[in-house]
């Protein structure tokens, strides 16, 4: 039985390999590979990644990945990113 940590590790591997991971694609792949328990409908009625998975993903990628708010995706941290800041408006 997969755990939130397993899903978070998969996300980490995916963003490391592909340099980015779009939320909509991640939701679909997580649901397909790991099951519905790692997905929920957010306040807007859209499928989203569970908070438990995102918490584990944050622990794993605190210094290596940035969330691009406008594009709704994660990407590898660049040297121009503010240290410790996990979100970007670029």
What DSSP assignment string belongs to 12-81?
HHHHHHHSEEEHHHHHHHHHHHH-GGGEEE-TTS-EEE-HHHHHHHHHHHTTTEEEETTTTEEEEPPTTS
CA proximity to 76, closest of 14, 7, 6, 29: 14
State pLDDT tens for residues 13-23.
Answer: 999 999 999 99
Query: What are 68's strand-pairing partners?
Result: 73, 88
Query: pLDDT band at residue 90, thresholds of 50, 70 and 90?
Result: very low
- Domain boundaries in the chain? 4-76
Whole-number pLDDT of residue 86: 64
State pLDDT tens for residues 29-86.
Answer: 999 999 999 999 999 999 999 999 999 999 999 989 999 988 999 999 998 887 766 6
- 89: pLDDT strictly greater than 60: no
């Amino acid at each position: 039985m997969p755990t939130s940590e397993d899903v978070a590790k998969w996300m980490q591997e995916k963003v490391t390999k592909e340099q980015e991971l779009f939320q909509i694609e991640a939701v679909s792949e997580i649901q397909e590979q790991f099951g519905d328990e790692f997905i929920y409908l957010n306040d807007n009625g859209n499928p989203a990644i569970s908070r438990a998975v995102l918490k584990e993903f944050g622990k794993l990628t605190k210094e290596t990945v940035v969330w691009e708010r406008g594009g709704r995706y994660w990407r590898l941290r660049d040297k121009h990113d503010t240290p410790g800041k996990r979100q970007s408006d670029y």
